[in-house]
Amino acid sequence: MSAVAEKVNVKPLADRVLVQAAPAEEKTAFGIIIPDTAKEKPQRGTVVAVGPGKKDEPITVKVGDTILYGKYAGTEITVEGQEYLIMRESDIFAII
The whole-number pLDDT of residue 9 equals: 84
Predicted local confidence at residue 67, as pLDDT? 95
Burial per residue of 33-70, b for 16 or more beta-carbon CB atoms within 10 angstroms, e otherwise: eeeeeeeeeeeebbbbbbbeeeeeeebeeeeebebebe
Domain extents for the chain? 16-95
CATH assignment, 16-95: 2.30.33.40
Please report the pLDDT score of residue 2 as a whole number. 45
pLDDT for the residue 84: 94
- pLDDT tens per residue across all 96 residues of the chain: 444 445 788 899 999 999 998 887 677 677 777 676 666 677 899 999 999 998 898 899 999 999 999 988 999 999 888 899 999 999 999 999
